[in-house]
A and B are shown apart, each in its own frame.
Chain A
Amino acid sequence: MGDMFDVVLAVLVVAVAVWTIGVRDSFASVVGFVAYGLLLALVWVRIVAPDVALTEAAIGSGLTGGLLVSAATRMQRAERSSATPQPGPLLRLSAIGLCVVVAAALAVVVLTLPNPPPTLAPVAAASLPAIGLDNPVAAVLIAYRAVDTLLEVVVLVLATVAVWSLAPDRLWGGAPGQRANLDPGGPLTLLARCLLPLGIVIGLYIFWMGSQAPGGEFQASAILGAMWILAMTAGLVDAPPTSRQWLRALLVLGPIVFLIIGFAGFAMAGGFLAYPVEFAKPIVLTIEAVLMLSIAAMLGLLVAGPPRRRKQR
């Protein structure tokens, strides 16, 4: 029965993926992409990877869907106004060929893995009590491979700046998006008002669970960022101008604290991002907490987009 479920799910994933690529309308393809992400989250749950399923549902499907749909609407306006040249048949065939080669290489690598595949899981699990965490994924992200996480967060900051730089020079520092009209009795306002506190509580819960069970700061920040965007969409709060000092400080707070702790590791435990054993758990929690706040702000700003309102003098 489980195998039949997996087969149906796999067929569905492939069918939705093919449809998403083949459909002509960009809005429809974004809908297909979100559907594909949700089905992929089911796949992750089936192969017992709940952390990845959480991240896929939160960031891969939800937030990226919101980002892509606003991009698709802007592209539709541009597509309607001027005729964009379609890629020629040679370019399409090369793209198809490249995709087939990459997919085939991945399939060969995965199918020829030795059974059981080589794994570091026992080694990773053995060091967990020293850090005080129960979730091996959280330990890998914040303790064993903390450098990767630091670099990822810095990349996110750069991505936010890159999105801001898409605005014309005269709009630099302004607020993203148009001011949404608050409709006091409308369904969107009701949804935002009811969902916001619930979403914040659930986000903090997922963050807190991250040290023992699947969860963590990335999924929590996706939920918090989505709640901020919902409030902006409903008109409950206005998007802050990107020149505000507190906003920029919030964005870099996470990476800076992470860097400080990293360099302090030289003094405390003999290496960059090395944690002394006595303080490992509080250090990890501090990093995760500030990262959650910063990444939530970054994700919200990434989806809100480049500044489109002139900065008030």
Chain B
Amino acid sequence: MREFLLFAALFVLATVAVGLLRLLYGPAGTDRVMSAQLLGTGGIAVLLLLGAADEMPSSIDVALTLAVLAAFVSAAFVKAATQTEETTRGDETEA
């Protein structure tokens, strides 16, 4: 069972790696932002499988943290990517 779970983790890691290549190469900004999403979901899957294989229950906590922060990082990336497209209105406004 342990070998099988490690093999599954390796497979998902390889899948994430190949997907990452595509997204990092992809010319559109959308592609780059998607990579955060891919790494989040794939990383969580790898963490859960590793935790079950090596009997480290704290991996689930790491996966939980990763899930929360991957969503945050994706939102931050989208916000930043949209700000590069707009022209700036100037750096100060009345509060």
Contact = CB atoms under 8 A, between A and B. Distances in A.
A226 B7 CA distance: 34
Interface string A192-220: 10010011001100100100011100010
A58 interface: yes
Interface string B77-93: 11111011000100111
Contact of B94 (A53, A191, A214, A309): A309
Interface string B51-95: 100101111011011101111110111111101100010011111
Nearest to A50: B58
B76 A46 contact: no
Interface in B1-35: 3, 6-7, 9-10, 13-14, 17, 20, 24, 29, 32-33, 35
A308 B92 contact: yes
Contact of B93 (A16, A219, A309): A309
B84 A223 contact: no
Interface string A177-190: 01100000000100
Contact of B68 (A8, A188, A198): A198
A6 to B, nearest CB: 10
B17 A69 contact: no
A214 B92 contact: no
A76 interface: yes
A24 interface: no
B39 A73 contact: no
B50 A27 contact: no
A274 interface: no
B28 to A, nearest CB: 11
A309 B39 contact: no
Contact of B36 (A34, A191, A234): A34
Interface residues of B, number: 53
Given A5-B9, A42-B47, A195-B68, A213 B61 contact: yes
A5 B93 contact: no
B7 A57 contact: no
Q: How large is the interface on A (under 10, 10 to 19, 20 to 34, 35 or more residues)?
A: 35 or more
B92 A309 contact: yes
Contacts of B80: 27, 69-70, 72-73
Nearest to B47: A45
A20 B46 CA distance: 22
B36 A31 contact: yes
Residue among B36, B58, B76, B92 with max Cβ neighbours from chain A (10 Å): B76
Contact of B35 (A8, A35, A202, A310): A35
A77 B83 CA distance: 10
6 contacts: A27-B29, A42-B50, A50-B59, A73-B83, A223-B69, A234-B75
Given A73-B80, A209-B61, A310-B95, 5 more contacts: A9-B13, A38-B39, A54-B62, A57-B69, A234-B75
Interface of A: 1-2, 4-5, 8-9, 12, 16, 19, 23, 27-28, 31-32, 34-35, 38-39, 41-42, 45-46, 48, 50, 53-54, 57-58, 61-63, 65-66, 69-70, 72-73, 76-77, 171, 174-175, 178-179, 188, 191-192, 195, 198-199, 202-203, 206, 209, 213-215, 219, 222-223, 226-227, 229-230, 233-234, 241, 308-312
- Which 7 A/B pairs are nearest by Cβ-Cβ distance? A62-B69, A50-B58, A66-B76, A309-B95, A69-B80, A214-B58, A1-B6
Interface of B: 3, 6-7, 9-10, 13-14, 17, 20, 24, 29, 32-33, 35-36, 39-40, 43, 46-47, 50-51, 54, 56-59, 61-62, 64-66, 68-73, 75-81, 83-84, 88, 91-95
